[in-house]
Structure 1
Amino acid sequence: MRPTRFAAILTTLVFAGALAACAPAPTDASGSGSNASGDAGAGSAADAAFADRMAAALTQWRASPSTGPFAFEIPGTALAASLGDGEVVATASGEGAPDTALAPDDTFHIGSMTKLFTAALIMQLDEEGVLSLDDTIDAWLPAAPNGGTITVRMLLQHESGLAELNFDNVGKVEPQALIDEVFTETPVFDPGTEYEYLNAGYIMLGRIAELAAEDPYDVQVDTRFIEPLKLTSTYLDGAGSGAEAVDGFVLTCDAGEGADCAGQFGTVEAQSASPQWPGAWSAGSMVSSARDQAVWIRALVDGDVVDDAHLAEMLELTPNSEEFYAATYDAAKVPPVQLGEGAGLATWDVPGVGHCHGHAGAIPGSNGIAAYCPEVDLAVVILNAIEPAGLTPGYPGLTSLTAGTLGALEAMGAE
């Protein structure tokens, strides 16, 4: 498996070795802001109660990457959640930038969590007959190797077999130029025969949506999702506008940064502006808050965004992805958590909660996840101000914080 950026896939299942850090001491905040869902905003009594109940768990989570005598601490984490038809509550712990406390409604670069907007857009266009998931991509991208065999569905499911982006050019050239460069590379497997997480595929889906609907990608996402759901802190970096995202932090070491530092000594440093923030586009350029993402993930997985047939397609795990993740966990000799991926949505088996569906994302300065757990009717979003975050980059904080979040909300509802 090749490393990816602004991605949700597991670059390593467990960080081995000792990671030394220069992270700030834990602090907690329950800040102020507005609730995108229209319920009680940050600073409400519910937010305060949630912050109080989750403070210790967040502090423990942020210290969780400790290995031996050295500690790699997550500098800051924002957490938002909702249970049933209750309001979205949010809290935060730590810093979003050096010497700057993180507030619950601060915005983040959310990386591959953007892909859910792209997948939902394609599903709506299929529902409307603007395109078909069975269309081959040569209809819009005639230079694609195997373009007459690769379908839109294969791009959604990471089964195209095409090469990955040249990340050195992300943010330096337009999306079409990134795509054209991929098309000069030899495919890595025959279409439909394997699963390999591919950021390039979701850049292609963004272009296909533009060409098929004859409307810019960001405009379609705004009018179909952001405006109807009142996601007031969400926009596409480089196209939209809104509250500036926190810069966050990065783990650096002799081998590089982020996941390159697995098993090595490293230091936590302030993240500088990255060209990937606007350059990742339909694969990873969204800016959002934890509270907005809680509204979005519940609406999507609970069936308010696409029809039942398309939601089922997004959720149904592909055999290739199931085989891939089973083999990955087996090789690492750790219990499986991510079970696979469908046409846009991943599924995790979360202890004490059940199956949860959503997407994670990593991009310079941020690593997070948004998930909805239908068995308990819980939406949970965890945004961390660092890349990587925690011992499991593929689902940062999900197994550590979700059961406690559910317990906190249940206790609040019983009061």
Structure 2
Amino acid sequence: MKVLIAEAGYRTDEPIVVGLQQEGAPSLFVTQGRTSSDDPATATTLVYAASLSKQMTAACAALLSQHGELDIETPLSQWLPQLPAWARMVRLRHLLHHTAGLPADSKIDAHSTLDYLPGTEHSYSNAGYVCLAAAVERAADQPLPDFAHHRFFTPLGMAATRYWTGPHPPAGAAPLAYPHPAPLSLGDGGVWTTATDLLRWSHALNVDELGISALMQTPGHLDDGTPIDYAWGIGVRSHAGHRLYRHGGGWPGLRNLLARIPDLDLSLVVTALADHTERRVDLLNNLLDEITEADLGR
């Protein structure tokens, strides 16, 4: 993997963690560099997950949906009646699949407006997942961090993973780029985790330990039936004939990428701790090429 890291353009002094896990075998990690606090970048370095948090928020919604406690066809206004009249048109599934018409940023209040009619376009929205998280909290009758901790993180042994609302990173975490504070919103982001825990999470979804994988892997669609390449908090792609689920996450000075191929029980994670580029995408694609070619050669 070190060769592929170099080929993607990372210098040996740049802090990066790359992890791979397949078919229940022990996870394999390659790490290099040091964080801005001069700690070595490792598989257990606590980092901000950024938008990787969305699939965890979606998983909370999926679990409630499976148990009949949250209907994704209900209007957002049922859960957040304080929002303007447009919330009556927005269904929870619109939030899940970024088709609600809400703005890209995470700010949402009584003065917010829609960019387009719900269900007519697909446009990435952090605000949509902030609203989804609030609906999940109402349905679960407990804060999102508590629900995720008791239903997912603890049962899966993800001891380092937690929601955190700042304004500073949790103790022991890799610092964020100065002067940017830790994000304050939940749902679109808010999770702090490690590469080790992310591979554990990904494997659990691959083998359906949580009983929600089929639902979470179902791609969304516009109201007219047009399919979109986004499922429950995760993008849907294909690679070498395999269905690939992946999502990135970014914050100033940090880039993450988590990908999995369920039919190979394959999970890959890239955490670049001093990165402002998209090099991690090239690295992931090269890793996938190597692995799928090797799988074909078996």
| TM-score when normalising by structure 2 | 0.86
Q: Report SS of the residue matched to 2:245.
A: strand
1:2-401 alignment to 2 at 5 Å?
54-63=1-10, 75-97=14-36, 99-142=38-81, 143-165=83-105, 178-180=107-109, 183-238=110-165, 244-247=172-175, 271-272=177-178, 274-275=180-181, 277-307=182-212, 311-320=213-222, 340-350=229-239, 352=240, 354-391=242-279, 395=281, 397-401=283-287
Deviation for aligned residue 1:145: 3.9
Deviation for aligned residue 1:212: 1.6
Question: In 1, are the aligned partners of 2:13 and 2:32 still within 8 Å (CA)?
Answer: no
* Uncovered stretches (5+) of structure 2, i.e. residues with no partner: none
Deviation for aligned residue 1:319: 4.4
Structure with the greater alpha carbon radius of gyration = 1
**Residues 360-386 of structure 1 deviation map (CA, whole Å, 9 limit, x = unaligned):** 111223111111112322111111113
Once residues 227 and 407 of structure 1 are traced to their aligned partners in structure 2, the CA distance between those partners, rounded to angstroms, is 36
Once residues 43 and 94 of structure 2 are traced to their aligned partners in structure 1, the CA distance between those partners, rounded to angstroms, is 37
Once residues 77 and 85 of structure 1 are traced to their aligned partners in structure 2, the CA distance between those partners, rounded to angstroms, is 24
* Uncovered stretches (5+) of structure 1, i.e. residues with no partner: 1-53, 65-72, 167-177, 249-270, 326-338
- What letter is aligned with 1:148? R
- What letter is aligned with 2:27? V
Q: Number of matched residues?
A: 295
Q: Report SS of the residue matched to 1:153.
A: helix
| TM-score when normalising by structure 1 | 0.64
Q: Report SS of the residue matched to 2:229.
A: strand
Question: In 2, are the aligned partners of 1:108 and 1:289 still within 8 Å (CA)?
Answer: yes
Identity of aligned residues (%): 23
- What letter is aligned with 2:174? V
Once residues 388 and 363 of structure 1 are traced to their aligned partners in structure 2, the CA distance between those partners, rounded to angstroms, is 8
Deviation for aligned residue 1:63: 3.3
Once residues 383 and 353 of structure 1 are traced to their aligned partners in structure 2, the CA distance between those partners, rounded to angstroms, is 26
Once residues 324 and 59 of structure 1 are traced to their aligned partners in structure 2, the CA distance between those partners, rounded to angstroms, is 40
Question: In 1, are the aligned partners of 2:54 and 2:234 still within 8 Å (CA)?
Answer: no
- What letter is aligned with 2:185? A
- What letter is aligned with 1:179? I
- Provide the alpha-carbon RMSD of the alignment: 3.2
Q: Quick one: structure 1 residues 203 and 103, their matched pair in 2 at CA, closer, same or farther if it must change by over 3 Å? A: same
Question: In 2, are the aligned partners of 1:382 and 1:398 still within 8 Å (CA)?
Answer: yes
Once residues 218 and 115 of structure 2 are traced to their aligned partners in structure 1, the CA distance between those partners, rounded to angstroms, is 24
